[in-house]
Structure 1
């Protein structure tokens, strides 16, 4: 019986002297588009929240612009649409947004943002989000947030006989 107690006591004592540990994890991902069709942001701006800065003097929100998207399609023109009406909300208050890609204002209906000829080569397109102008009483105070969801499409490539 003595022999069984000693190894168990050593095991228990060994765990009492273990180093403290902290585990961490990092999520990683990659999105590698096909060479035939892609629409991506130029840089990393789309992965970060973007502020429409309020100007207390004018009562306006500064648009988010100066960024670009890059696109290419070997199958034809590229169309884009909003998945839902673009708004920012704070409680029950909301501010409408206008979204444009390549100087084309998007709605929930497809619109051509890049012609077939222009889409054949990698093309950089300006991107802009701006708030709809405030009414006569200005914007209601609040902390507004929203998400703009867009869909980009090109024709399905035809396969030869």
Structure 2
């Protein structure tokens, strides 16, 4: 009876620790954050629980977009912003992008853009250059979201214009 109780107790403790795993265990502010996240399993528990568990990382969920098979999730980690592509079936982080500096004048965008005046079939993540009320804004830096490989692919910004309605920067839209 004692042996059965001990096994049950160890199983319960082990499952509690497994539940607390969320992909941020290996992240250190002074380390390679993108590398520490890639290949890790995310968590389906409430974001407030994950943020509370990682106060040392100043972790904050900044929002997410669903692509069907995977999601892009933006996190503030150690004062820097990272976008992760996470498989929706397995919760495995497939790719991580550290966002370049951005602001109201250089907002983050996620969605469909035009390249050379033609609509792109692929989604784009970009930092745009605000230009006084124009509907389409030029990109300062951009990555195509390769939906088959679930990866970010750096792309040239020449001729790339993205609509204002895809801006995700708080306070950047009129």
What is the TM-score when the length of structure 2 is the normalising length? Answer: 0.23
Higher strand share: 2
Higher gyration radius (CA): 1
